[in-house]
Structure 1
Amino acid sequence: AVALVALAATTYFNSFWRSEPYVVVTLVMTAILVPAYVYILLTRVHKAYNAALEANLAKSRFLAQASHDLRQPIHAISLFIACLRDARLGVEEQQMVNNIDRSLQSVSRLFQSLLDISTLDSGKISAQPEAVAIGEILQDIAQQNSQAAQWAGVTLTVVATHRFVRTDPSLLTTMIQNIVSNALKYAPGGPVLLGCRVRDGKLSIEVHDRGPGIAAQHLPRLFEEFYQVRERGDKDTEGVGLGLSIVQRLATLLGLEVSLRSVENQGTTVVIDGFDMVAEPVRSLEAVRAKPASLLDGLRVLLVEDDVNILMATGILLEKWGCIVQQEDALPEGKDVTCDFIITDFDLGAKTTGTDCIAYIRRANGRKIPAIVVTGHDENRVRDDVGDPQIPILSKPIRPAELRSTILALKLQAEQQPVHA
């Protein structure tokens, strides 16, 4: 509009322009057509952007729903496998159980990678820093990967450390787990070392392997999503190439730096750097985790889970650990709910959640009973709903050792400092 007004004014006051009408017409057409063309282009770009945004949101919604639905059967299968391990099976049957467990772990790791990248894309993850014993985290990861290391023929060694740092233990565990999984996958048959080093007042975590190493041309792209090192004739390996991308994103979230160096035929080293060291806290819940399972004998557990398979599998496992289990597939209103411990799913149907269940049971018993919430949803969202930092949130699928150690920790903590409602 301004251009047309300017052209009209110039034509009116300029005799040369009035004598050249074709020039004026050309300029007027240019003043109209160019903005119109730009407007059309911007409109198309805007529509394309909205379509891409909607597709991305649809992908996130799909992965979120699929993650919840897929967690349930994987969680149930892992619990049934744990029950089978405690059964008196023959050598051949035990080997079959081991093979099933190995395949399930592969599926679980792949599924967890897709879930992690989807959750990171959603921007819903926030760090919850606290004083963390690095040595305990490294030992836990080594223990969780001991079976996988045995299958890969890897000697997994942890260098002991008593250092404490301030970070988010859950996110840090995910980072190290992805690095260790890569080492077991790409460097089978050799040693893998986990340890710490202090540089310039900061602590770093290092994972070393003695695998075939990585060619120099691949190194700049290793942290890209879905990038995998593939050479002609290489055998297939599990995974989709998201492990290091997840590590990089979590490092950025935690304010850390990740670097990788590798030499062909010598091995690979991944370093997570930038941890702020802190003093050891006065008390740590982790200090009581590694207790014998006999401490669970006679523990009265109320188990609330709307999935029948998971309810049955978890109940069998708890009973094998010596617990007295009351199984419920919904909020047990109007029933005897006397118990020492609560394990509840988050979604219980009928607009009821694990938060409601815990509050109801605690009111019925007149005391603050230790509780665990198990969920297939985003852990941060569930934690916000529960609103109690003393109630652990365990994400499906749960390894039996993780469930048992969490129960033991809460039980012993309640015995040392009983809290009444």
Structure 2
Amino acid sequence: MKIFTTEKYSDDELLLIESEHRKAYLKLFKSTLFVQGLFPIVLCFVFYSLISNTILFGWLSAILFTTLIRGYLTYGWYKANFNINQTRMFEGLSLILSFVAGCLWGMTVLIVDFNQYPEASVFLNLIIFGLAAGSVGIGSYWFAYFLVYNIAVFSIYTLGYSIAMDEPHYLLAISILLFLIFMIQIALVFHRGNAQNIWLIKRNQKLAENLEIKKKEAENFAASRTRFLASASHDLRQPLQALNFFLSALYRELNSDKGRELYIKLEKCAEGMNELLSSILDVSKLDAQIVTLNREACSVGSILDNLKQQFQMQADEKGLKLLFHSSDHYVYTDPILLQRILSNLISNAINYTNNGKVEVLLTHKDGLLIEIADTGDGLTEIEQEHIFEEFYQLNNPERDKKKGLGLGLSIVKRLCQLMNIPITLHSQKGKGCCFSIKLPLCNAPVLLHEAPKYSLQQYTENKKILVIDDEITIRDSLSELLSQWQCQVIAAESASEACDMIQKQQFIPDLIIADYRLREDKTGVDAINQVKKLLNQEDLAAIIMSGDTEPKRLKEVALSGYKLLHKPVKPAHLRMLIQRQFM
């Protein structure tokens, strides 16, 4: 089934277009079989009394037989499942029968005398021209079929009106010839248009399939990355958690200045690891979509004061000026997430600025515009396109841990999207960077009473705490720390061991602290529930500690309803949370 087109398709594309054209032709031809059989019968009724019955019924038999054979070939073609050899045979036979049908319809101009029966001839011409116009639809898929049929019909008609009649009708013959040329042009346009449409549809389908494949590959990569980060993070958090607890317990045992100096250096190393793992945790929380917004009227000045205290020493160590504009304004947003965004931006500015200053600017214009500007090296346009991507870092081939993992700005971007905060970047190579975010202003909240102040020395003394963790270093370090806080502690590696110890020692805990991931596919939630059931105390306070950053795990912990602390837990944070359980 040759494609008549000026487009340059590949061999595979031509085969595809031919196959689709063939299917469309067969479907369309089947729908016209009834009409092709009906019109000859109608003509016989009209011309029954005008011409010889022998000629009339002979013509009718021939045209109906041809139509039946063509119909049989059509259905047989379907059953052949488009086998190449059989397809070529069907195409050849169909073209021959199309030519025969065209000749039979064309012969009607010789059967009916136009001069003797003008009205009947006009009716005949209407049917002939109607069938020709209807064949354009088939020609749009199989152009050769259209040509063979119509050239056969109108060649005989043209000759009949110009030569075969006693009184030739040259003008009518020329009109028929012009009509044929016009029909061929229309059919060719439709034919090429269908070929182009089929090519576009198939190409789009292929692009969509490729896009879906790439999407799945990206999703699988993201899932693999998340699983890797979760696994690596969990394995790193376990010993680091024990290190934090041991460090806190060790400090009281240090008596010399040298020992305290070494302790401070060791604590800084641990704090650096904490920050790196916290970045991974932030990404995992965003992936798990468990970061919730708690918008409220928050003091910009208070947040900036906290940030100044947090980064002043780091800026001083690098010889940088750290400048903050003062503000007594309030903005309506989540204060914790806002501080996280600003913290990441300021940390990034200090890390990549070697001389000069880092400045936090405030501008009031349809809200509050907060800008973090630095005098660092700045960014090229290409670097600006990638700066918010995960793990993207500049000028850190040695992977200096002080510059983080390259997650800070990625976290900023995702938090801004979550909070619906616009963030912009203006930078020029050699002239520093300026990140800006815009927040809605609001009125200061009305304070009904002063918030109570809690002391770290209260509430923990003589409290009975059950620790469940399958890591012995965590159990030992946490038990030592809790003991220094004047708590009574028992530690177990599983829920069953904890239940045995409770029964043997008659130990009724006031609080349970459990690791989320235990052995034998058990979880801290399972362990807490088992202890609660044993003691028949549904309201027993409990805290989950987890080193997992996998989004699925984070969702499971969030659904449990228990207080969650992410390893490595700072002792001060743990003590504050324990206090609040007993208030």
Q: Report the TM range for the smaller structure's normalisation.
A: 0.7 to 0.9
SS at the partner of 1:128? coil
Q: 1:330 to 1:212 in 2, by over 3 A?
A: same
- Matched positions, count: 398
Name the amino acid aligned to 1:3: H
Structure 1 residue 255 and structure 2 residue 420: aligned?
yes
Can you give the 5+ residue segments of structure 1 that lack an aligned partner in the other structure?
A: 416-421
C-alpha separation in 2, matches of 1:381 and 1:314: 25
C-alpha separation in 2, matches of 1:270 and 1:230: 19
SS at the partner of 2:404? coil
The equivalent residue for 1:400 is 571
Between Structure 1 and Structure 2, which shows a larger proportion of helix residues?
Answer: 2
Compute the displacement of 1:381 (Å): 0.9
The equivalent residue for 2:278 is 112
Structure 1 residue 95 and structure 2 residue 261: aligned?
yes
SS at the partner of 1:306? coil
C-alpha separation in 2, matches of 1:79 and 1:72: 11
The equivalent residue for 1:418 is none
C-alpha separation in 2, matches of 1:314 and 1:170: 27
C-alpha separation in 1, matches of 2:427 and 2:201: 55
C-alpha separation in 2, matches of 1:320 and 1:191: 43
C-alpha separation in 1, matches of 2:519 and 2:418: 34
C-alpha separation in 2, matches of 1:146 and 1:66: 32
Which of 13, 19, 29 matches 2:146? 13
Which of 520, 543, 564 matches 1:372? 543
Q: 1:36 to 1:356 in 2, by over 3 A?
A: closer
Say which one has the larger Rg: 2
Structure 1 residue 341 and structure 2 residue 506: aligned?
no
SS at the partner of 1:402? helix
Which of 392, 404, 408 matches 1:243? 408
Compute the displacement of 1:247 (Å): 0.4
Mapped contact 2:288–2:554 kept (Cα < 8 A): no
Structure 1 residue 314 and structure 2 residue 478: aligned?
yes
Compute the displacement of 1:16 (Å): 9.4
SS at the partner of 1:339? coil
C-alpha separation in 1, matches of 2:278 and 2:353: 21
Compute the displacement of 1:229 (Å): 4.4
The equivalent residue for 1:386 is 560
Mapped contact 1:116–1:246 kept (Cα < 8 A): yes
Compute the displacement of 1:346 (Å): 1.9
Compute the displacement of 1:395 (Å): 1.2
Q: 1:231 to 1:323 in 2, by over 3 A?
A: closer
Mapped contact 2:298–2:333 kept (Cα < 8 A): no
C-alpha separation in 1, matches of 2:209 and 2:467: 55
Between Structure 1 and Structure 2, which shows a larger proportion of strand residues?
Answer: 1
Mapped contact 2:460–2:485 kept (Cα < 8 A): yes
**Map 1:168-247 → 2, pairs under 5 A:** 168=334, 170-187=336-353, 200=366, 202=367, 212-215=375-378, 217=380, 220-221=384-385, 223-225=387-389, 226-230=391-395, 238-247=403-412
Structure with more contact order per residue of length (Cα contacts < 8 Å, sep ≥ 6): 1
C-alpha separation in 2, matches of 1:43 and 1:367: 53
Compute the displacement of 1:373 (Å): 1.9
Q: 1:338 to 1:310 in 2, by over 3 A?
A: same
Q: 1:84 to 1:285 in 2, by over 3 A?
A: farther
C-alpha separation in 2, matches of 1:62 and 1:106: 21
**Map 1:28-177 → 2, pairs under 5 A:** 38=203, 47-120=213-286, 122=287, 124-131=289-296, 133-134=298-299, 167-168=333-334, 170-177=336-343
The equivalent residue for 1:3 is 21
Name the amino acid aligned to 1:239: G
Q: 1:59 to 1:267 in 2, by over 3 A?
A: closer
Which range moved further: 133-142 or 338-347? 133-142
SS at the partner of 1:67? helix
Name the amino acid aligned to 2:558: D
The equivalent residue for 1:419 is none
Compute the displacement of 1:370 (Å): 3.6
Name the amino acid aligned to 2:560: V
Q: 1:205 to 1:350 in 2, by over 3 A?
A: farther
Compute the displacement of 1:375 (Å): 1.2
SS at the partner of 2:499? coil
C-alpha separation in 2, matches of 1:285 and 1:327: 39
Name the amino acid aligned to 1:243: G
Compute the displacement of 1:250 (Å): 0.6
Which range moved further: 190-199 or 359-368? 190-199
**TM-superposition CA deviations, 1:6-29 (whole Å, max 9, x none):** 45643223139989xxx9xxx9xx
SS at the partner of 1:333? helix
